Amino acid sequence: MSASLQDNRLTALHERFAKEFGGAPQIVVRAPGRVNLIGEHTDYNDGLVFPVAIDRDIIIAARATDDNFIEIYSEDYQQKDRFSIADIIKTEEKPWSNYVRGTAAVLLKHGYKFGGFQAVSTGNVPQGAGLSSSAAYEVAVCYLISTLSNLSLTKKQTALFAQEAENNFVGVNCGIMDQFISAFGEPDSGLLIDCRTLDYKSIPLNLKGRELALVIVHSGVQRGLVDSKYNERRSQCAEGVQLLAKHLKREVKSLREIEELELDECAMALPEIIFRRCRHVITENARVSATVEAFETGDLARVGKLLEASHQSLRQDFEVSCEPVDILVDLTANYPGVTGARMTGGGFGGCIVALMEKAAVPGYTASVPVEYLKQTGLTATVYDCQAAAGASTV
């Protein structure tokens, strides 16, 4: 995103704050959305993921108050919510506020004390696209409260508390990846995260040096994880762990502990659908490691093949893609100058991610959405993104 566009957003945020609360905010913070290059549905299986924080974010302007109330206006929903810190309950009327309420509730649960504040939030992370607008909101709120009240939360604490809010308050049983990358992201880099240990390593992508663009394309198919079969897939993976432990006659805590050869040996002992769910997770972990190695050695052709293999696994074994997304991936992968493409996010709609030559982006943007519209009747939206920093003060 250009600096001028960011300045325009900040100006509008200050104007809205003055209109709603009078005066100026005390602090402005931001937290980015993310695109996952590879490693889908591996995070809650203690696996490996390789996401990138993107230059689309949630921005919150805030000012501490002397009372015990949080009052926040959402520019995106044109709504205001006000609730007492002493009595935080879930709201059905303003679902967007549950990310604020839930994050505050988790901090209180862990013994952190903080006062009330007034705030205005706005975001340009597309919602329902699989780019983690919800995680960005939770991380931004957590970072805001920590900064306003001098809680000195670490990045890891911020990510974990934000995930807990999503799991236990909002009601989406997500893994740690989305909140972790929103807190830890680095410019022009991907982050290899071991979701079992929370060890991480920043991997330079050097997209600028390689004349490559990170392109995200919204399929036009809206998705919502709470209402999707996301939680069902997680349960199927858990069932696979139980069955594999029984067959292998040893303790198995997650699919991360299973080798592909072991899974093949147990194939007849598993229901066919459970076998395929497990196969995706186990082979996807291997693809993450291979992708990181390919970036480090500059083997971009291999990166492309791994992205496409990931999509086929998500499509066939994990069954979280859909026909419009498959069409968009095929059109993208076959466009000249594209290194590779796949669906990204939880699935059931949302976005695809592609690496392509910078010079190819204008032609791609002008032609592929047109063909996609002809084939599906849906409008695809193209985002040319950059890898950005994690949560910070603006």
Instruction: Give every CB contact of residue 363 below 8 A, 6+ residues apart in sequence.
Output: none
Of residues 117, 60, 8, 34, the one with CA closest to residue 393: 60
Q: Is 178 a catalytic residue?
A: yes
| Kind of pairing between the strands at 189-194 and 212-218 | unpaired
Please answer whether residues 288 and 48 qualify as being in contact, where contact means their C-beta atoms are separated by less than 8 angstroms: yes
Give Cα 377 distance to the centre of its chain. 27
Are the C-beta atoms of 157 and 163 separated by less than 8 Å? no
Beta-carbon contacts of 239 under 8 Å, excluding residues fewer than 6 positions away, are 274
Residue 268 CA: distances (Å) to CA of 260, 276, 298, 326, 378: 14, 12, 40, 30, 41
Q: What is the largest CA-CA distance in the chain?
A: 68
Among 46, 81, 178, 317, which one carries the catalytic annotation? 178
The residues annotated as belonging to the active site are: 178
